[in-house]
């Protein structure tokens, strides 16, 4: 049998191996292994999750991380009934059927998780043959991922800790799997916890799972302005529909931030459960998850909040913060050398929740809109109400500095409004009103009808905690 991979070079001159689908070897998906600028003598293999390769960030990592990087290419394919299964995020439906039978992937009857184990084994075999990884390496991979890709990373590490040395996950702190099946009567089925995990792993494997999970080194990180950007889902777990007409089910007034959910259909089974346990404050949920993991044999050793940046700080690879790359390199190097875990220290004390508080207030004021016209009228009412507050300028500054999907609450409009004040409202709206020709008269009619002091006063402490 010939080689199951090709040796290639990308457009940036980076060398990599491309592995074809190999059902005969136990995996029916493609993957690549990229080689860094420098490879450490004690290098391990790093599995990095992407939907599409962010070439800029990958290049930045290859220049800093002295380990080969594995990138898989798994697709969410329909089942026999045409229903798309989320194999990428290792949803429960991608692993087991309701009757307890296993779900295969591709042309194989084995699960996507089992196929990952085979692909990892093949990767180590080739890298050892090439003398890039030492023969004595125990073939426990390191995993990393960010945001939606972080969900994949933390779930795979949770499912196969016997094959994973460490997981480094960012921007997915609302969906960390917990090593318990319930807390205070709140049941936690996988992927929220270990409930029903026996159906996925099998009784014999579940008995071994706990011992391996306790060896798994876990690192999580987030950003101080994690709650600044809107995501693609509503509070009910439904994807935002971007139709022209705003209706109650399709508007963005119930939109939640990108870090408050994962993109899995099972979001309703994860985030609300953690909110039920520890409340809506994302900082309390981080602390609750960490305490639960560490008090039940786990090793969540590092939690870092990067100062002064938002959730999308890793979107552009060229701008990937040097601090993150340095932390990642330090952590992996210390693991390779068998030293105490290094990196991911000295962050902010907590995530800024003021963005979420402002968003929630605005959403509550807009939730009864039945049409686009009424929605835009209410937007203007809210601007007036906020302007009448003693701390209104702070409200507008907080919301004006965020990227928003609300139709009229653009940063440009709010900056004009902050500069000119409520008496300049008509001037502030001129550019926007042309987009909604049937709203101008209604807006003028309601402009001076909103009673001052209508909204509950909120002190500065409530906004900035």
- pLDDT tens digits, 449-460: 333 333 333 333
> Same domain for 266 and 404?
no
In a domain, 341, yes or no: no
Say if residues 411 and 399 touch (Cβ distance below 8 Å): no
> Same domain for 364 and 303?
no
> Same domain for 331 and 361?
no
pLDDT of residue 36: 93
In a domain, 219, yes or no: yes
pLDDT band, residue 445 (cuts 50/70/90): very low
In a domain, 343, yes or no: no
In a domain, 73, yes or no: yes
> Same domain for 316 and 387?
no
> Same domain for 80 and 29?
yes
> Same domain for 120 and 172?
yes
> Same domain for 327 and 413?
no
Residue 305 belongs to a domain with what CATH number? 3.40.50.1820
In a domain, 373, yes or no: yes
Give the end of a domain, one of 301, 336, 371: 336
> Same domain for 203 and 156?
yes
Say if residues 354 and 464 touch (Cβ distance below 8 Å): yes
pLDDT exceeds 80 at position 67: yes
> How far is it, in rounded angstroms, from Cα 88 to Cα 77?
10
Mean per-residue pLDDT over the chain, rounded: 78
In a domain, 346, yes or no: no
pLDDT of residue 387: 67
pTM of the shown model? 0.81
> Same domain for 161 and 261?
yes
pLDDT of residue 321: 74
> Same domain for 73 and 216?
yes
Give the end of a domain, one of 336, 371, 399: 336
pLDDT of residue 162: 97
In a domain, 345, yes or no: no
Domain count for the chain: 2
Closest by alpha carbon to 180, among 161, 191, 194, 196?
194
> How far is it, in rounded angstroms, from Cα 186 to Cα 188?
6
pLDDT of residue 238: 63
In a domain, 155, yes or no: yes
> How far is it, in rounded angstroms, from Cα 398 to Cα 432?
21
Locate 277 and state its tokens: 């346990």
More confident residue, 232 or 33: 33
> Same domain for 190 and 271?
yes
Strand partners, 440: none
Give the end of a domain, one of 336, 371, 392: 336
pLDDT of residue 318: 46
**Full residue range of the structural domain in which residue 422 is found:** 356-464
> Same domain for 327 and 397?
no
């Amino acid at each position: 049998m010939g080689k199951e991979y090709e040796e290639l070079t990308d457009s940036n001159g980076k060398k990599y191996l491309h592995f074809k689908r190999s059902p005969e070897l136990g995996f029916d998906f493609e993957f690549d292994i990229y080689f860094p600028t420098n490879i450490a003598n004690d290098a391990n293999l790093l599995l990095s999750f992407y939907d599409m390769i962010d070439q800029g960030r990958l290049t930045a990592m290859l220049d800093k991380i002295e380990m080969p990087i594995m990138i898989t290419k798994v697709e969410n394919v329909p089942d026999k009934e045409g229903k798309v299964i989320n194999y990428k995020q290792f949803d429960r439906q991608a692993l087991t059927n309701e009757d307890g039978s296993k779900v295969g992937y591709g042309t194989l009857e084995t699960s996507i998780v089992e196929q990952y184990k085979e692909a990892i084994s093949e990767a180590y075999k080739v890298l050892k043959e090439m003398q890039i990884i030492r023969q004595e390496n125990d073939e426990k991979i390191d995993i990393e991922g960010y945001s939606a890709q972080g969900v994949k990373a933390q779930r795979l590490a949770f499912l196969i800790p016997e094959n994973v040395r460490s997981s480094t996950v960012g921007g997915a702190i609302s969906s960390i799997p917990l090593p318990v099946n319930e807390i205070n009567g709140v049941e936690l089925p996988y992927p929220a916890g270990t409930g029903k995990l026996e159906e996925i792993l099998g009784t014999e494997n579940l008995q071994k799972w706990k011992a391996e999970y306790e060896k798994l080194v876990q690192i999580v990180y987030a950003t101080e302005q994690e709650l600044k950007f809107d995501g693609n889902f509503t509070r009910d777990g439904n994807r935002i529909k971007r139709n022209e007409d705003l209706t109650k089910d399709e508007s963005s007034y119930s939109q939640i931030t990108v870090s408050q959910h994962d993109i899995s259909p099972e979001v309703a089974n994860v985030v609300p459960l953690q909110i039920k346990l520890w409340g809506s404050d994302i900082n309390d949920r981080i602390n609750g998850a960490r305490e639960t993991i560490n008090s039940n044999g786990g090793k969540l050793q590092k939690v870092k909040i990067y100062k002064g940046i938002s959730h999308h700080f890793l979107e552009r690879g060229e701008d990937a913060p040097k601090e993150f790359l340095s932390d990642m390199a330090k952590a992996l190097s210390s693991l390779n050398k068998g030293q105490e875990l290094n990196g991911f220290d000295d962050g902010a004390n907590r995530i800024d929740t003021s963005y979420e508080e402002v968003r929630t207030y605005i959403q509550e004021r807009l939730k009864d809109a039945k049409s686009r016209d009424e929605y835009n009228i209410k937007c203007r009412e809210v601007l007036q109400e906020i302007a009448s507050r003693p701390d209104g300028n702070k409200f507008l500054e907080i919301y004006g500095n965020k990227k928003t999907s609300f139709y009229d609450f653009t940063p440009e409009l709010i900056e004009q409004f902050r500069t000119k004040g409520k008496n300049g409202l008509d001037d502030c709206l001129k550019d926007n009103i042309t987009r909604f020709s049937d709203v101008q008269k209604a807006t003028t009619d309601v402009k001076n009808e909103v009673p001052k002091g209508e909204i509950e006063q909120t002190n500065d402490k409530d906004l900035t905690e």
